[in-house]
């Protein structure tokens, strides 16, 4: 069904109002102390879930394929950035070691080689996009080559996500096990506990949601 000009204008107006509220009003309320850090962080999580929902909508709407494994690709991107943030903790961790706490707990005395490039923030940002993209490309190529579609595609993506979760839960993968990555301290030198840093991350997330 085609949209009428009036409907399009209403939708555009709602988008502008929502964008202004998320990007401008919410940070201002936080800056003036009218909402707490916890509230802003909670809205930031809602925004991240919204970005993921839009990605599902784009795939389903344009291709008719329902992907039940979208969280996998978002999680892998999160792990890529998490590796950088874990390395930035340094000796501020529980064990006062240059190694991430979970590696010390597991008895490791040196940093695995595949972790070392993640000292670089630009490299981590590149991997956030590149690694999930490569995995999605390989999976998509194999699925479409086998002419898998419809409900079978959805089931396969769900199975892929479940299998990946079991893999990441294993300590042998050296990715935090079932506890994951925790106790982040800084990002690009900014203290994550400061209200200004939380507000900046929220604004970045809100802008990304509005753009997509």
When the pLDDT of each residue in the chain is averaged and rounded to a whole number, the result is 91
Confidence (pLDDT) at 6 = 62
How many whole angstroms from its chain centre is CA 162? 18
Contacts of 70 (CB under 8 A, 6+ apart): 52, 55, 56, 59, 157
Residue 80 pLDDT greater than 90, yes or no? yes
Confidence (pLDDT) at 180 = 84
Nearest to 26, CA basis, from 15, 10, 34: 34
How far is Cα 203 from Cα 209, in angstroms, rounded to an integer?
A: 10
Confidence (pLDDT) at 9 = 82
Q: What is the dihedral of CA 68, 74, 80, 81, to 10 degrees?
A: -160
Residue 102 pLDDT greater than 60, yes or no? yes
Confidence (pLDDT) at 3 = 58
How many Cβ atoms from other residues are within 10 Å of residue 85's Cβ? 21
Confidence (pLDDT) at 15 = 86
Q: Confirm whether pTM is higher than 0.85.
A: yes
Residue 5 pLDDT greater than 90, yes or no? no
Task: Read off the pLDDT band of 141 (50, 70, 90).
Answer: very high
Confidence (pLDDT) at 2 = 56
> How large is the average pLDDT for residues 95-113?
91
pLDDT tens-digit series, residues 31-42:
999 999 999 999
Choice between 130 and 66, residue whose per-residue pLDDT is larger: 130
Confidence (pLDDT) at 8 = 78
pLDDT tens-digit series, residues 153-187:
999 999 999 999 999 999 889 998 888 898 999 99
Confidence (pLDDT) at 4 = 65
How far is Cα 8 from Cα 175, in angstroms, rounded to an integer?
A: 46
Alpha helices in 69-146 (DSSP H): 70-89, 101-105, 121-145
């Amino acid at each position: 069904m085609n949209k009428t000009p009036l409907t399009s204008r209403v939708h555009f107006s709602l988008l502008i109002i929502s964008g202004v509220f998320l990007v401008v009003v919410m940070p201002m309320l936080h800056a003036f102390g009218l909402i707490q850090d916890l509230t802003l962080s909670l809205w930031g999580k809602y925004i991240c879930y919204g970005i993921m929902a839009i990605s599902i909508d784009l795939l389903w709407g344009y291709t008719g394929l329902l992907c039940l494994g979208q969280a996998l690709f978002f999680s892998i991107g999160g792990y890529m950035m998490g590796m950088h943030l874990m390395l930035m903790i340094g000796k501020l961790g529980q064990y006062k070691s240059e190694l991430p706490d979970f590696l010390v707990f597991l008895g490791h005395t040196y940093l695995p080689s595949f972790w070392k490039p993640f000292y670089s923030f630009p490299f981590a940002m590149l991997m956030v996009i590149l690694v999930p993209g490569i995995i999605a490309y390989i999976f998509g190529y194999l699925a479409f080559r086998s002419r898998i579609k419809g409900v079978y595609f959805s089931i396969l993506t769900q199975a892929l996500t479940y299998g990946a979760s079991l893999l990441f839960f294993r300590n042998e993968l050296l990715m935090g096990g079932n506890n994951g990555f925790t106790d982040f301290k800084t990002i690009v030198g900014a203290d994550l506990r400061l209200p200004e840093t939380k507000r900046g991350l929220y604004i970045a997330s809100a802008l990304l949601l509005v753009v997509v």
